Amino acid sequence: MTKPHMNPYSRHIFICTGHYCDPDGKAAQLYSQLAHLLGPLGDYQNPNRVKRGTTPCLGVCSAGPIVVVYPEGIWYHHVDQVVIRRIIHEHLIHNSPVEEYIFHRLKR
Ligand code: FES
Q: What confidence tens digit (pLDDT) does each residue in 67-101 have?
A: 999 999 999 999 999 999 999 999 999 999 999 99
Arithmetic mean of pLDDT, 16-28: 96
**Is it the case that residue 108 has pLDDT exceeding 90?**
no
pLDDT confidence band for 13 (50 / 70 / 90): very high
**Cβ-based neighbour number of residue 93 at 10 Å:** 15
Per DSSP bridges, beta strands 102-105 and 74-76 are antiparallel
Distance 13 CA to ligand 1 centre (A): 15
- The CATH code of domain 11-105 reads 3.40.30.10
Q: Establish whether the linkage from the previous residue to 65 is cis, with ω within 30° of 0.
A: yes
- List the domain boundaries for the chain: 11-105
Atom number in ligand 1 closest to CA 21: 2
CA pair distance 21, 40, nearest whole angstrom: 30
How far is ligand 1, taken at its centre, from the CA of residue 74, in Å? Answer: 16
Q: Please report, rounded to a whole number, the percentage of residues in the chain having pLDDT higher than 70.
A: 100
What's the 5 CA to ligand 1 centre distance in angstroms? 30
